[in-house]
Structure 1
Amino acid sequence: MPTDSRRPGFHDLHAGGRPLLLPNAWDVASAVAFVDAGFPAVGTTSFGVGAAAGRPDGGRASRDATAALVRALAPLDAHVSADVEDGYSDDPDEVAAYVAGLGCAGVNVEDGTDGRLVDPEVHAAKIAAITGRCPGLFVNARVDNYWLGADATVGAVLRRAEAYVAAGADGIFVPGATDPDELRELAAAIPVPVNVLAVPGRMLDELGGLGIRRVSTGSLPYRAALDAAVGVATAIRGGGTPMSATPYRDAQQAIVRFARRT
């Protein structure tokens, strides 16, 4: 990422007056569009990256495509956080080596593999290996109890979060947690920024009032883009008027500006 001493560091973005809204991109064009819309940081989405390549989410299928995308986004005038599933390996050193080769500002590493929770000590070892090899990287440790519907209680999440923070995690991500009382309890008990997925019907300021410091869009923009694309085609097929879109010249110029940075 081009350096700019005036830009807040990625860690600092989690300490603002409102939660950091992190939109998740699936290719260069979507990341460029988010940055042009004023977002200071973007994440990747393993679902979107994998689906764009014809691969289902999970199963470590997005490993190479994620690495290629993150490297392609290096010239982007924004911080990039990579969704690396479970680190794509059971070996902590292999996970750390993979992350070190990305050159991004942060990573999101989940403690679910093949649809099941892993031993928290195993995940903590991955976090410790990453932080030991990549000082300064924002390591967001994802706790998948709610996401997988496995022991989905505040107490169980806190026990895992405690182990991951002790291993060096800079943030804790609890996808699937939506209840306001539970979110407040989690945020109050976890000593690092807590990240959740966007909650329908709950504004950023409301989540911030509960103590949440980061909100991710996950694969929602990718899925919405698919719906919009199909909507355009079906509207034309039916003789209707398709939704408006960014003019071709404007979209082209956005990519031209990005390409000049490479």
Structure 2
Amino acid sequence: MNAVDTLRALHHDRAPGDPLILPGPWDAASARVFEEAGSPALATPSAGIALSLGYEDGQVPPGEMFAAIARIVRSVSVPVSADVEGGYGLPAKELVERLLETGAVGCNLEDSRGGALREPAEQAVFLAEVRAAAGSRLFVNARVDTFLRGVPEVAAAVERARLYVAAGADCVYPILAPPEALPALRAGIEGPLNAVAGAGGPSPQELGKLGATRITFGPGLLHRSLGALRDIADELV
């Protein structure tokens, strides 16, 4: 089985309470740590890579982001999915080509542009173009930004998610959906459902019992690592 087929298979037939946990490496060293710990696949966070490169989230030049993804992919033997934000304004064919050149076999694509929600039909067209260009070579995780952008109604997230699945998305990611919304999202959306786990919130297993089939962490693991590094630095200084 090749890497993309492995990644796709990992998302299916998950038991409740046993979601696919995808740590988010920000560089080659962290990717190796997660692989050595037994992670079957990894999912890069754009915000984490941005911080590691000295940028604010959303400000990394595309060339630097693709280079960072390539270094992570090169450092491990497990499948890697890459967060490429909204696609950097690239045409779908070019975006797919550049992603595949990094060795990544999956991607996150968000439906915000410039801090505002994109029209769902437009995003669905873009996702369909990505799917057509990629064929089966990429696992596409379609991020739904309604909760992030102040639209709390579950129905709005479900409407977008259904459009994106119909356009060819393999998974949907209603980022920052409150845990109590997960059962309704699970009931309304076909296929894998991504939830983010954060400090002080439900565990990945608890999120799985609520309906999530895939758990990611955004830049949270980097922030935890920086906290430990600050403690070390305080001891030294």
Q: TM-score, normalised by structure 1?
A: 0.81
Give the residue type in structure 1 aligned to 2:195: V
Shift of 1:8: 7.3
The verdict on how the C-alpha distance between 1:170 and 1:21 changes in structure 2, with shifts beyond 3 A counting, is same
**Residue 9 (structure 1) aligned with residue 6 (structure 2):** yes
Shift of 1:234: 0.9
Partner of 1:146 in structure 2?
Answer: 147
* Contact 2:28/2:75, CA 8 A, preserved across alignment: no
How many angstroms apart in 1 are the aligned matches of 2:122 and 2:2?
37
Shift of 1:62: 4.7
How many angstroms apart in 1 are the aligned matches of 2:206 and 2:100?
35
Identical counterparts, % of pairs: 35
Give the residue type in structure 2 aligned to 1:105: V
Shift of 1:52: 1.7
Partner of 1:120 in structure 2?
Answer: 120
Give the residue type in structure 2 aligned to 1:175: I
How many angstroms apart in 2 are the aligned matches of 1:127 and 1:170?
11
Q: What per-residue deviation string (whole Å, max 9, x for no partner) do you get for residues 13-71 of structure 1?
A: 11233101111011000101100010011111111211222211114x25222211222
How many angstroms apart in 2 are the aligned matches of 1:62 and 1:126?
21
The verdict on how the C-alpha distance between 1:8 and 1:203 changes in structure 2, with shifts beyond 3 A counting, is farther
The verdict on how the C-alpha distance between 1:141 and 1:70 changes in structure 2, with shifts beyond 3 A counting, is same
Partner of 2:184 in structure 1?
Answer: 185
Aligned length: 231
The verdict on how the C-alpha distance between 1:111 and 1:68 changes in structure 2, with shifts beyond 3 A counting, is same
Partner of 1:226 in structure 2?
Answer: 226
**Residue 55 (structure 1) aligned with residue 55 (structure 2):** yes
Q: What per-residue deviation string (whole Å, max 9, x for no partner) do you get for residues 167-219 of structure 1?
A: 10000001111232x11000111001010100434123322222210010110
Partner of 1:207 in structure 2?
Answer: 207
Give the residue type in structure 2 aligned to 1:219: P
Q: Kindly report structure 1 stretches of 4+ aligned residues shifted beyond 4 Å.
A: none
Higher Cα radius of gyration: 1
How many angstroms apart in 1 are the aligned matches of 2:132 and 2:27?
29
The verdict on how the C-alpha distance between 1:124 and 1:97 changes in structure 2, with shifts beyond 3 A counting, is farther
Give the residue type in structure 2 aligned to 1:22: L
How many angstroms apart in 2 are the aligned matches of 1:212 and 1:158?
14
How many angstroms apart in 1 are the aligned matches of 2:62 and 2:19?
29
Q: What per-residue deviation string (whole Å, max 9, x for no partner) do you get for residues 127-180 of structure 1?
A: 11111111221100000111222x221011011111111110000001111232
* Contact 1:58/1:85, CA 8 A, preserved across alignment: yes
* Contact 2:31/2:75, CA 8 A, preserved across alignment: no
Partner of 1:196 in structure 2?
Answer: 195
Gap runs ≥5 in structure 2: none
How many angstroms apart in 2 are the aligned matches of 1:215 and 1:163?
22
Give the stretch that moved more between structures: 131-140 or 94-103: 94-103
SS of the residue corresponding to residue 122 of structure 1 reads: helix
Gap runs ≥5 in structure 1: 238-262
Shift of 1:93: 4.0
Give the residue type in structure 2 aligned to 1:65: E
SS of the residue corresponding to residue 102 of structure 2 reads: coil
SS of the residue corresponding to residue 107 of structure 1 reads: strand
Q: TM-score, normalised by structure 2?
A: 0.90
* Contact 2:32/2:75, CA 8 A, preserved across alignment: no
Partner of 2:41 in structure 1?
Answer: 41
